[in-house]
Amino acid sequence: MLQVYQGGELTVVGFGGREILGQIDITKCRSQLLELIKNNGTKTLAFDLRGVKLLPSGMLGLMASLLKMKIAIHVYSPSNDVREVLKVTGLTKVITIHDLEGDGNGTT
């Protein structure tokens, strides 16, 4: 499900480049993330979204609930469609978006 690239106060997770995350079990994903946060003393959770074209609404809700827990959320390399969804939902006001060089998405 989730791939953990780095653990610690800054924990980085990704989805293995899957284009659509519709098959992700949000309940399991939430449990895995909460365990990572607890075990690593995570203060910032970064999602590597390279290759992801669509985020399910449950993932957006999960991000919002993590924000309520005072976990900073960073998103790396969102597609233009994902970026638009984050903007429409207002999440761009409370999360940090980063573009990696060469991802073709411009800079926020």
Look at residue 10 and tell me if it is in a domain. Answer: yes
| Token pair 């979204």: residue | 49
pLDDT at 106: 46
Query: Dihedral sign, CA of 108, 32, 5, 71?
Result: positive
Cβ contact 77:45 at 8 Å: no
Domain that holds residue 8: 3-98
Look at residue 103 and tell me if it is in a domain. Answer: no
Residue 74 has pLDDT above 60, yes or no: yes
Distance CA 58, CA 73 (A): 16
Cβ contact 15:9 at 8 Å: no
- The string of pLDDT tens digits covering residues 87-107 is 999 999 999 999 976 555 544
Count H helices and E strands in the chain, helices first: 3, 5
Give the number of domains in the chain. Answer: 1
- The string of pLDDT tens digits covering residues 17-60 is 766 666 778 889 899 999 999 999 999 999 999 988 888 888 89
The enclosing domain of 79 has a CATH number of: 3.30.750.24
Residue 16 has pLDDT above 90, yes or no: no
